Structure formats: C-alpha cells, structure tokens
Amino acid sequence: MATRSKIEWTQMTWNPVTGCTKISAGCKNCYAERMAKRLQAMGQKRYINGFEVTLHEDLVELPYQWKTSRLIFVNSMSDLFHEKVPLDFIQRVFNVMERCPQHTFQVLTKRSKRLREVSDQLSWAPNIWMGVSVEDEHVMYRIKDLQNTPATIRFLSCEPLLGPLENLDLNGIQWVIVGGESGPKARPMHLEWVEAIHMQCRQAGVLFFFKQWGGVHKRRNGRELHGRLYNEMPNLTNYGYQAILEEVDVYKIAEKIHD
C-alpha cells in the first residue's frame, strides 16, 4: 500500500504497518485514526481491523518495485516503533530501506524511547532520515532520544504544535518541520510559537519547513509565514549532507536527492 502523498514535505507514503494507539497530546485528533475508520467503513481490506495495529507482510518489500528515486514517508498511518510491532519486523523494514539507495525514506515516531532502545540493532543507511514528533514541551525528551541514534539526517516534526517550545536542543538536528493542527476539532497554533522555533533554527543553522497554519479550513489559512513560504529541507548528495536553502518545490528537491 503506497500512494502519492499530499503532505508537503514528501512524495509517497508506504505503510507496511497500519493502526496505532494514543500516547501524548498530539494524538488527540489523529488524522490517521480518522482516515482508518473511514476506510474500514468503505470496506478497504487493509483496514478490516480499523485502527488496530496490523502488520502487512506483503508490503515490506514493496520499495524494491520502484526504480525511480522517490521521497517516501514510512508509516504515515502508524508508528513503526509501536510496542506491538516486533523488532524483527522493524529490522526487515530497515533492511529494505538500506537496499533501496535510490530512494530516501522518512521515518517519524512518537515512541522515541523504543527507538533509542533498539537503535543499535538497526541498519542505518544514509538514505534513512529519522524524526520524532515534538508537539509541546512535555515531550521534548524525544529530542535527546533521537540525538542518540546514528541517523545521518535527524529531524523534528513540531506538528500539531500545541504550545511554545523554548530552548530547543538542536545539536545534531538537521531539519525542523512546524505545522498547526487541521481538521474539525483543530486546536489553535500561535504565531509567536512559530516565530520562536524559526529563530532558534536560524541561530543553530537548522533547516526550517513551515507546513501549514492548519485549522478547520487549512487551505484557506495557507502556509505562508510573514508573506513567504519556507520549504527548506535536507538533501543527500553522494551520501553527504548538503543544505537546500533556496525556495524550491518539494518534488524538485526530491529529484536531486540521488543525482
């Protein structure tokens, strides 16, 4: 199960695992849960279990079929480091990513403690970007867990941003995504929270991607900050880190990843 994605910072989603459980404030209005229940009601076979954690064995090797380089968000409908996902399954997913150097994989988790615990048992290829969600000050410990992994590109997803994040430890972090919550019960995001994170990224030389203001009508609210778009994101050139700072479309960036 892989689809073109409307998420601004990726191209494709690949979901060898679906389903999850809530662990922090950012999970309250989970879009993946809402989507899973809708797909279950439509009779989609992959979601026969609704939002229960489900392993899709037949999808683990799917990236082998894609020859053209792609930017791939791994498990947009789950969390690869969920406690119900066996370590050997996580290892298989990482092994597939390692063997597909033509692609760049973006893995994002809220379960940073487990990530840290099993990190040394995983194959960390340069084309595997690792991120953690940091929605408020109560989960800033996730940053330290991420910093203790050997990922070449480490990133933070401050979405949905639910409060101020002062004194972020950005040592060893290459990229920060910021976005407001969207959907029918979206909680507000304040301008000063975004500005503070942007300033911290500038001071630390960290790339900044502003995804959206969110809200009930996210398209109406747009994704400009102070009249401009911030589409900064990492790039990998010959397996070395290189910053992309200019304003370019995410798909054009993706085309450069393995040139």
Q: Of 4-13, 144-153, 168-177, give the lowest mean pLDDT range.
A: 4-13
Band of residue 252 on the pLDDT scale cut at 50, 70, 90: very low
pLDDT of 242 above 50: no
Residue 204 lies in a domain: yes
- Residue pair 147/154 in contact (Cβ under 8 Å)? The answer is yes
Q: Give the pLDDT of residue 204.
A: 97
Band of residue 67 on the pLDDT scale cut at 50, 70, 90: confident
Residue 134 lies in a domain: yes
Band of residue 235 on the pLDDT scale cut at 50, 70, 90: confident
Residue 176 lies in a domain: yes
Q: What is the pLDDT of residues 94-125, one digit of tens each?
A: 999 999 999 999 999 999 999 999 999 999 99
**Strand, helix or coil for residue 46:** helix
Residue 229 lies in a domain: yes
Q: Give the pLDDT of residue 4.
A: 81
Q: Give the pLDDT of residue 236.
A: 54
- C-alpha 165/C-alpha 163 separation (Å) is 7
- Residue pair 193/200 in contact (Cβ under 8 Å)? The answer is no
In Å, what is the CA distance from 138 to each residue of 54, 134, 163, 186? 29, 8, 10, 19
How many domains does the structure of the chain reveal? Answer: 1
Q: Which domain holds residue 97?
A: 2-14+64-256
Q: What is the pLDDT of residues 179-196, one digit of tens each?
A: 999 999 999 999 999 999
Q: What is the pLDDT of residues 13-52, one digit of tens each?
A: 999 999 999 999 999 999 999 999 999 999 999 999 999 9
- Residue pair 101/131 in contact (Cβ under 8 Å)? The answer is no
pLDDT of 156 above 50: yes
* Nearest of 65, 239, 81 to residue 146 by alpha carbon: 81
Q: What is the pLDDT of residues 157-176, one digit of tens each?
A: 999 999 999 999 999 999 99
- C-alpha 124/C-alpha 257 separation (Å) is 17
* Nearest of 147, 120, 125, 11 to residue 70 by alpha carbon: 11
Mean pLDDT computed over every residue of the chain:
90
Residue 126 lies in a domain: yes
pLDDT of 75 above 70: yes
219 or 96, which is more confident? Answer: 96
Q: Give the pLDDT of residue 2.
A: 64
Residue 19 lies in a domain: no
pLDDT of 53 above 50: yes
Residue 133 lies in a domain: yes
Residue 33 lies in a domain: no
